[in-house]
Structures are given as structure tokens and as C-alpha cells.
Amino acid sequence: MAGGAVADVGVTSSIPAARPENWKQSIPAILVAAASAFGGVLFGYDTGTISGLLVMDNFKETFGQRMANGVVDLTTNDTSLVVSILSAGTFTGALAGAPISDILGRRWGMQVALLVFTVGVIMQTATTDLGVFIGGRVIAGLGVGILSTIVPMYQSETAPRWIRGAVVSGYQWAITIGLLCASLASYGTADRQDTGSWRIPVAIQFAWAIILSAFFVFLPESPRWLVKKGNHERAAKSLARLNSTDADDPVVRSELSVIQTNLDIELTHSTGSYLDCFKFNDRKYFLRSFTGIFIQAFQQLTGINFIFYFGTRFSASALPNSNPFIFSVIYNVVNVVSTVPGMYMMERLGRRKLLIWGAVWMCLCELIVAVVGTTVPVSNTSGGKTLVAFVCIYIAGFAATWGPAAWVVCGEIFPLAIRAKALSLCTASNWLWNFGIGYATPYLVDEGPGRAGLGTKVFFIWTATCACCAVFAYFFIFETRLLSLEEVDEMYSQTTALKSSRANAEMRARRSDLEGAVAPPKDDELATHDEKKN
């Protein structure tokens, strides 16, 4: 029965929810996925705010302590904790995102996340005690973690297949916009000598939460989650709304049949538990979970958060007589602008090529930064400008490739039965490595007892990890561009990563032939998914 059903998916998935030639019908789905991407602004802003706060005089006076040289500043331990503790909260939140989204749904799960996040922001804004501020970072992190699990999943489940990669990439683009807004807010208040210098940038996060909460009131629920819950009537209405049609449209009915058929197949292999994510079976659950968990780990190991957590301090050391806040803004502008071509290339070049060549690009840039930083003295202004220039080129490479592609891959490789739990594991991996790198970096870079004192030599580490990223992408990333989520399931059951590009082309060619030969069925010709399998 399972074997016959697999073959059936290959046929029924040829009937799309929205075809490229009818792209105007897909506008609601695109807008829904784009609106949910606004969660990335909140994610990016919260992540990027801390870089500017660490060098603000009033922030250091409020939360720091007097050093041996008489200067009031945060200790290395406090700096590590303030920066990295957000990721400890997000790690827990990412894992919590799976049961929350499975029980409450994608929309209400995101509303819960925003409520938790708001509590954390209140704690950070209202206090002058470092412990409470750190606690607020943890609570806010819980909310961000839940969002970072649900948003890419919701986008993947609602976006049309022909533009899904670009739409989900919009989440990463929103993250970069959030980072830029954080740097601009910090730049705008940096000269204030009162607590407003750091409280204003922190409090702005209320605005992002309110805007996002308003969006989620009007967005439809994921039709795939509704099918999983057995609510086919609401699923039909949601899918119809996403495709500018009505619930009785044959295309809507056919798509729902495909989703249900594929879910039935998955439930013969899985009960939807966390343990199922690591099963060695013909649906390659373990391979998918391994791929998702490690692509998120490697995204952090590219070293990108060294720039966005400590970029202001890095620029101050590279060009001591310059305004480090300006360079922070420049880095973020490069990040925002460079994500756009990545969104375009996601469907043109595919996931594999972007990830492989993006890793090579970053590897070369970071090697140059490491060599120049090691061999050229700090007093050499040209050397400092070279460092900043190649950091910008490196950021551009990340923003166009690994930044968006990691989220796209994780959002589309998992079957519906385990999607929420598997994606939560991937996102938790991102935040776990984020925490580890954020906490360890000051000890690697700073000089003094118990510190490695690497300075810019730390880029040799990022060079090596980027080389590993390229190897990982070559051997483990399947090419999934332009396929429906159900077709991605079929691909994983039939081929390997190294052969996936050819398999992708063959599946799309087969679908094109079927679409040209078979018209969508009429209402009275539609059978139930059980009848179709028979």
C-alpha cells in the first residue's frame, strides 16, 4: 500500500496550487508569507541591539564596574553573558516552538511568542540591575526562539512552490533589516549621556512586536496544519484564500488531496515524535534531521555573528580614530542590500550552488582578513581599511548565500508528520551554536589572563569552518528548487544529494508533461484520498 501511494504522489503533485502562468492568483499567498517574514525584523533587531549598547558610556556606567585602570566597563565575563544569554533563551524557545505550533497552530503560536518577547523587553527597559537585564534577555530570547521555529515553517507551508525559496529568504532579509534598524537606533542615541542612550533602542522593540501581532490577526492558518488536524473544511478555505479562489475550486481540492495523501504515507513511517526525526528508514528522516541541524550549526560557524555582536568593537580596533558606529551601519547596509540578489538567485541557481560557492567566497575573504590582521600593524591605516573592506565583501557573500539558504532548506526538507519538531531541532541548533560562539568569542579575542588574545587571528578559525561548510553542502544538500513540499518528500525517498540536481530536473520535466496533458479534474471526478490510493 505504501509503495503504491508513493507512486501516486508523483502523479497528483503535478497539479499545483498555483501555476506560474497564473501568478496573480498567488499574490495573497506571497503577501501572507512576506508579512510573516516581518518576524525576522524583531529577530534581527533584538540580536543587533547589543553590539551598540556595549560601547555606550551610560550603559557601561549603569551595568559595569570600575576596572584596575580606573575605567568603568563591563568585565569580559559580563560582556560574554550579556551577549550570549539571549541565545540560551532562544534555544529553549526554539524547542518549545514545536509543541506550541502543533497544539495552537502556526498563527496563535506566533502570538504567544510575541507576548513572551514583550515581557522580556519590559524587564530590560525598566531595570538598572544587570541581573534583571540579563533575565530580560533570556525571556525575550524565549519569544524570539519560538518565532524562529514557527515563521519559516509557516512561510514554507503557505508560499507557492515556484517562489517559495525567495519568499522564505525574505525572513533572512527581514533579519538583516532588523539588524540595520538596531545599528541606526544605536547610532542615533549614542551621544546621549542619560539612560535614554540604551533604553530607547531597547524599547523600540515594542513597536516591532505590536506591528507583527497585528499582522497575525489577519493572516490565514496554514492549510497543511489544518489537514494534519483533520479540519479539511477550514483547510480548503485557507488554501482558497491563499490562491484567490473558492474552496470548491478543483485545483484546491486536488492540492488538499495531495497533502492528505502524503501525510497518510508519512504516518505509516512515523508517529510524529522527536525520536522519529532520527529514524533510519526509506524516507531518510535521519538524513534530513542531520542536514537541518548541521546547516544551522555551520551558518553560525561562518563567523557572521562575530561581526554583528562585536563588529563595533572590531571596527574601533581596526581604525582607532574613526567612529565605530558608522562602520556598524555600513556592515548592516551591506547585509541588507546583498540579501536581495540571494533571494533572486535562490530559484535561479538553486540551494546547492549558492551554499557551496557562498562558503568558498566567505572562506577566501576571511583568510585575507586573518592574514592582513596578523601581518599588518594596527597603526597602518591602509591595513585597517583593507580589513573593513574584506569584512564587507565577506558579509555580502554570507547575505546572498548562507544567510537565507539555511532557512530555506530547513523550511522545506521535512515531511508534515515531523515538520514542527524537526524544524525546532534545527532552530535550536542555530541558537545553541549562537550562544557558544557569542560566549566564547570575547575569551578568544581579548588579551589577559585566561584569554587567548587572538584578535583578528580568530578569522583563521572562521576560514577553516567556512571550508567545512563547502564540503558539507556538497555532500548533504539536496537541490529542492521549484518543487512542491510533497515532491521534496518524494525526492528524498528516491535519490541522493549528489544526484539531486538531475533528479530535480527530471521531476519538473515529468510534472510539466503531465500538466500539459491532464486538465484539473471536475468536482464530480474528485475522489477521496483513500479512493485515489486504491
pLDDT of residue 514: 66
Cβ neighbours around 4 below 10 Å, total: 10
pLDDT of residue 10: 36
SS3 (DSSP) at 221: coil
443-481: string of b/e by CB count within 10 Å (b at 16+)?
Answer: bbbbeeeeeeebbbebbbbbbebbbebbebbeebbbbbb
Nearest residue to 401 (alpha-carbon basis) of 293, 295, 283: 295
pLDDT of residue 338: 93
pLDDT of residue 260: 87
Which CATH code fits 2-517? Answer: 1.20.1250.20
pLDDT in tens, the chain (534 residues): 333 332 333 333 333 333 445 566 667 777 776 777 778 888 888 877 887 888 788 888 888 787 767 677 788 788 878 887 888 888 999 999 989 999 999 999 999 999 999 999 999 999 989 999 999 999 999 999 999 889 888 888 887 777 778 778 888 888 888 888 888 888 888 888 899 999 999 999 988 888 889 888 888 898 889 998 888 899 999 888 887 788 888 878 888 888 888 888 777 877 778 888 998 887 789 999 999 999 999 999 998 878 877 776 777 777 777 777 788 788 889 989 999 999 889 888 899 999 999 999 999 999 999 999 889 887 788 888 898 899 999 999 999 999 999 989 998 999 888 888 999 999 999 888 988 887 888 788 777 777 777 888 889 999 999 999 999 999 999 999 988 888 898 899 889 999 999 999 998 888 776 655 544 444 443 344 434 444
The cell numbers describing 375, all together, are 601581518
Dist. CA 410–CA 424, nearest whole Å: 10
Dist. CA 66–CA 104, nearest whole Å: 49
The upper half-sphere exposure of residue 11, i.e. CA atoms within 13 Å in the direction of its Cβ, equals: 12
**Residues paired with 73 in a beta bridge:** 65
* Backbone CA torsion sign across 101, 107, 109, 110: positive
As a whole number of Å, the end-to-end CA separation of the chain is: 8
**Residues paired with 65 in a beta bridge:** 73
The cell numbers describing 506, all together, are 527530471
SS3 (DSSP) at 73: strand
- Whole-Å CA distances, 112 to 102, 153, 232: 13, 16, 25
Name the residue type at position 112.
V
* Structural contact between residues 411 and 155, judged by C-beta atoms closer than 8 angstroms: yes
* CA max distance for the chain: 84
> What residues does each domain of the chain span?
2-517
Dist. CA 119–CA 136, nearest whole Å: 8
Nearest residue to 390 (alpha-carbon basis) of 434, 331, 316, 452: 331
What dihedral do alpha carbons 514, 519, 523, 524 form, nearest 10°?
Answer: -90
Residues 282-287: contacts with CB within 8 Å, 24+ apart?
Answer: 282/493, 283/415, 283/489, 283/492, 283/493, 284/492, 284/493, 285/415, 285/418, 285/422, 287/476, 287/492
Nearest-5° Cα angle at 167, 260 to 344: 130
Dist. CA 409–CA 238, nearest whole Å: 24
The cell numbers describing 455, all together, are 584578535
- What's the length of the chain? 534
Nearest-5° Cα angle at 106, 100 to 112: 55
* Structural contact between residues 273 and 422, judged by C-beta atoms closer than 8 angstroms: no
pLDDT of residue 21: 54
SS3 (DSSP) at 72: strand
Per DSSP, 229 falls in state T
pLDDT of residue 525: 39
Which residue bears the cell 546547492? 352
Dist. CA 383–CA 264, nearest whole Å: 61
Cβ neighbours for 293, distance < 8 A, ≥ 6 positions apart: 425, 426, 429
* Structural contact between residues 425 and 307, judged by C-beta atoms closer than 8 angstroms: no
Nearest residue to 133 (alpha-carbon basis) of 183, 82, 195, 193: 82
- DSSP secondary structure, 343-363, as one string: HHHHHHT-HHHHHHHHHHHHH
Nearest residue to 414 (alpha-carbon basis) of 323, 291, 524, 233: 291
pTM for the complete prediction?
Answer: 0.77
